[in-house]
Structure 1
Amino acid sequence: MTGRDLPGLDLGRLRAHLDAERPGMVRGELRGHLVAGGRSNLTYEVGDGHSTWIVRRPPLGHVLATAHDMAREHRVITALRDTAVPVPRTFALCTDPDVIGAPFYVMEKVEGVPYRTADELARFGPDEVRAIALRLVDTLAELHAVDPAGVGLGDFGRPDGYLARQVKRWKQQLDASRSRDLAGADALHRRLAESVPEQQPAAIVHGDYRLDNVLVDDGQVRAVLDWEMATIGDPLADVGLLLVYQRRHELGGTFVGGVATASGFPSPQEVVARYAERSGRDLSRLGFYLALGYFKSAVICEGIHYRYQQGQTVGEGFDTVGRAVEPLLAAGLQSIDQGGRR
Structure 2
Amino acid sequence: MSDDYYERLVDEDALATYLEDHLGEVDRYEVERHQEGHSNETLYVAWGDRNLVIRRPPPGETADTAHDVLREYRVTNALVETDVPVPEPLLACEDHGVIGSDFYVMERLDGVVIRDEEPDRFADPASRRRIGEELVDTLASIHDLDYEAIDLGEFGYPEGYTERQVDRWGQQLMWAFDVTAEEREVPALYEVGAWLQENRPDEHPHALVHGDYKLDNVMYGPARADGSRDERAGGTREQPELIGVFDWEMATLGDPRADLGWMLSYWRDPKDPEPVIPELTSTFMEREGYPTRRELVDRWESRTGYAFERERFYRALGVYKLAALGEMFYRRYLEGNSDDPMYPKMEDRVPALAERATRIIEGDEPL
Q: Quickly name the TM-score band, shorter chain normalised.
A: over 0.9
Secondary structure of 1:151's aligned partner: coil
- C-alpha displacement at 1:336, in angstroms? 2.8
Task: Provide the residue aligned with 1:241 in structure 2.
Answer: 262
Task: Provide the residue aligned with 1:27 in structure 2.
Answer: 26
Checking the alignment, whether the CA contact within 8 Å between 1:253 and 1:324 is kept in structure 2 is: yes
- C-alpha displacement at 1:73, in angstroms? 0.5
Residue 254 in 1 paired to residue 255 in 2?
no
Q: Deviations over 1:191-247 (max 9, x none)?
A: 111111133221111001001001112511110000111110001000000110114
Matched AA of 2:337: Q
Gaps of 5+ in 2: 223-239
TM-score by length of 1: 0.92
Q: Deviations over 1:146-166 (max 9, x none)?
A: 011111110111111111111
Task: Provide the residue aligned with 1:307 in structure 2.
Answer: 332
Q: Using the alignment, how far apart are the partners of 1:130 and 1:121 within structure 2?
A: 14
Aligned with 2:342 (options 317, 336, 340): 317
Equivalent pairs counted in the alignment come to: 337
Matched AA of 1:268: R
Task: Provide the residue aligned with 1:221 in structure 2.
Answer: 242
- C-alpha displacement at 1:331, in angstroms? 2.1
Q: Using the alignment, how far apart are the partners of 2:143 and 2:339 within structure 1?
A: 33
Checking the alignment, whether the CA contact within 8 Å between 2:8 and 2:100 is kept in structure 1 is: no
Matches within 5 A, 1:84-103: 84-103=83-102
- C-alpha displacement at 1:62, in angstroms? 2.9
CA distance 1:217–1:30, change in 2 (3 Å): same
Q: Deviations over 1:253-311 (max 9, x none)?
A: 43264343344221111111111111110112111111110100110111112212222
Matches within 5 A, 1:147-186: 147-178=146-177, 179-180=180-181, 181-186=185-190
Structure 1 vs Structure 2 CA RMSD: 2.1
Task: Provide the residue aligned with 1:206 in structure 2.
Answer: 210
Q: Deviations over 1:100-155 (max 9, x none)?
A: 111000001001121112x3445522221221111000000000000111111101
Residue 195 in 1 paired to residue 199 in 2?
yes
Secondary structure of 2:361's aligned partner: helix
Matched AA of 1:14: L
Task: Provide the residue aligned with 1:130 in structure 2.
Answer: 129
CA distance 1:331–1:130, change in 2 (3 Å): same
Task: Provide the residue aligned with 1:280 in structure 2.
Answer: 305
Task: Provide the residue aligned with 1:55 in structure 2.
Answer: 54
Secondary structure of 1:321's aligned partner: helix
Checking the alignment, whether the CA contact within 8 Å between 1:285 and 1:339 is kept in structure 2 is: no
Q: Using the alignment, how far apart are the partners of 1:340 and 1:153 within structure 2?
A: 37
- C-alpha displacement at 1:327, in angstroms? 2.0
Checking the alignment, whether the CA contact within 8 Å between 1:115 and 1:259 is kept in structure 2 is: no
Moved more, 269-278 or 304-313: 304-313
Matched AA of 1:8: L
CA distance 1:259–1:298, change in 2 (3 Å): farther
Q: Using the alignment, how far apart are the partners of 1:317 and 1:306 within structure 2?
A: 12
- Structure number with bigger Rg: 2
Q: Using the alignment, how far apart are the partners of 1:12 and 1:262 within structure 2?
A: 47
Q: Using the alignment, how far apart are the partners of 2:145 and 2:67 within structure 1?
A: 24
Identity of aligned residues (%): 36
Secondary structure of 2:277's aligned partner: helix
Checking the alignment, whether the CA contact within 8 Å between 1:70 and 1:95 is kept in structure 2 is: no
Secondary structure of 1:184's aligned partner: helix
CA distance 1:307–1:81, change in 2 (3 Å): same
Moved more, 143-152 or 119-128: 119-128
Matched AA of 1:55: I
Checking the alignment, whether the CA contact within 8 Å between 2:113 and 2:216 is kept in structure 1 is: yes
Residue 115 in 1 paired to residue 114 in 2?
yes
Residue 17 in 1 paired to residue 56 in 2?
no
Runs of 4+ deviating beyond 4 Å: 3-7
Q: Deviations over 1:7-28 (max 9, x none)?
A: 50112111212233x242x423
